Structure 1
Amino acid sequence: MALILALLIVLGWRGPSLLQPSVGDEAEVVGDCDLHSGACEAQWDDGTHLTFQITPRPIRMQTRLQLEAEVSGPLAPDRVQVDFQGLEMYMGYNRPELEAQGDRWHSEGILPLCVTDRMTWEATVMLHRGEDEEAVRTARFRFETRRDEAGDLSAEALDSE
């Protein structure tokens, strides 16, 4: 019984970090990046270029979000995912898989409602090539959401959209 309790404590303490994307080859974000204002860009040393955007703007919790990534460079990815992590608190596993349309990748996503008034998020765009998880390329973009009466929708309102 004590062993099970100890295992549960360790999983509760370390579990969220085990779900974070592994860092393989991390891109450098180009210039000032504000996903609330427009697309952000990142570049890898080999010339691979990523343009990432989230709409509608401003980005809100409990709202259907359109995710778009455009990738150009020497090696096209086989898969693209966006991993959303709350920085102030663990907000659950949230990693939509984007679908390819040429050199653009699209998907819908949603940020869960946070009990605090503000939440800083990190959207990690993950470019996969092959099955080697160590070969994942990542680009990290941070943004903040605010809870307000005019913005975030209840689950019932979201279902009726």
Structure 2
Amino acid sequence: MNNKVKFLFIALALGAGFLLPNLLNKAKTMHVDLSEYCMLSTKLCEQDGVKIQLNKDRAHPLMPVEIQVFWPNAEAEQLLVSLQGKEMDMGVVKYQLDMIKPNVYQGEIILPVCTEDSMTWYGTIAEGENSVQAAVRMTR
């Protein structure tokens, strides 16, 4: 086989190896149906009996937003919040909410800066094996 053809195949394989995972991940996150998620704001949102509320309607990059969760019959000392960006892959950010009284959890989330003017962060709030789906809208 010609050396130029071999080099071309190697270059294509390397390029696909670097680019394909990002493209597949982007395609997956672009098709997330946010109607299944509790869109968090100052209005109380309820999913599967769990009530969630923020102290602001929208989050802003690097600005703390307080989140409060009422989880009936919860036994965990903390809840785990895991969020990822819908419009841009910025990895997964994780936060811990502490129990402030029985069945009530509170904490702060601080979302990272991105190059977009607005972005939706979606993911889960988990209490042990149980979880609810939540999303936060962030603007600059």
TM-score of the aligned structures, taking structure 1 as reference length:
0.58
Q: Does structure 1 conserve the Cα–Cα contact (< 8 Å) formed by 2:55 and 2:67?
A: yes
1:13 corresponding residue in structure 2: 21
The aligned amino acid for 2:88 is M
**In structure 2, the residue corresponding to 1:61 is in which secondary structure?**
coil
2:96 corresponding residue in structure 1: 97
Q: Deviations over 1:19-53 (max 9, x none)?
A: xxxxxxxxx76xxx54234121111xxxxx21111
Counting matched residue pairs gives 113
2:45 corresponding residue in structure 1: 40
TM-score of the aligned structures, taking structure 2 as reference length:
0.65
Displacement after TM superposition at 1:125 (Å)? 0.8
Q: What is the CA–CA distance in structure 2 between the aligned matches of 1:63 and 1:57, rounded to whole Å?
A: 13
The aligned amino acid for 2:120 is T
| Counterparts in 2 of 1:126 and 1:55: CA distance versus 1, 3 Å | same
Residue 144 (str. 1) matches residue 137 (str. 2): yes
Q: What is the CA–CA distance in structure 2 between the aligned matches of 1:140 and 1:70, rounded to whole Å?
A: 14
Q: What is the CA–CA distance in structure 2 between the aligned matches of 1:143 and 1:62, rounded to whole Å?
A: 14
The aligned amino acid for 2:64 is R
Greater Cα radius of gyration, structure 1 or 2? 2
Displacement after TM superposition at 1:78 (Å)? 4.5
Q: What is the CA–CA distance in structure 2 between the aligned matches of 1:76 and 1:119, rounded to whole Å?
A: 33
Q: For residues 122-161 of structure 1, what are the structure 2 equivalents within 5 Å?
A: 122-128=122-128, 136-147=129-140
| Counterparts in 2 of 1:93 and 1:143: CA distance versus 1, 3 Å | closer
| Counterparts in 2 of 1:115 and 1:146: CA distance versus 1, 3 Å | same
Higher helix share: 2
Residue ranges of structure 1 left out of the alignment (5+ in a row): 1-5, 18-27, 44-48, 129-135, 148-161
Displacement after TM superposition at 1:99 (Å)? 0.9
Residue ranges of structure 2 left out of the alignment (5+ in a row): 1-13, 26-35
| Counterparts in 2 of 1:35 and 1:95: CA distance versus 1, 3 Å | same
Q: Deviations over 1:72-117 (max 9, x none)?
A: 14x5334311112101222233111111122211111101111012
Q: For residues 41-60 of structure 1, what are the structure 2 equivalents within 5 Å?
A: 41-43=46-48, 49-60=49-60
The aligned amino acid for 2:46 is E
**In structure 1, the residue corresponding to 2:76 is in which secondary structure?**
coil
Displacement after TM superposition at 1:61 (Å)? 2.1
| Counterparts in 2 of 1:142 and 1:108: CA distance versus 1, 3 Å | closer
The aligned amino acid for 1:85 is Q
Percent of counterpart pairs with the same letter?
23
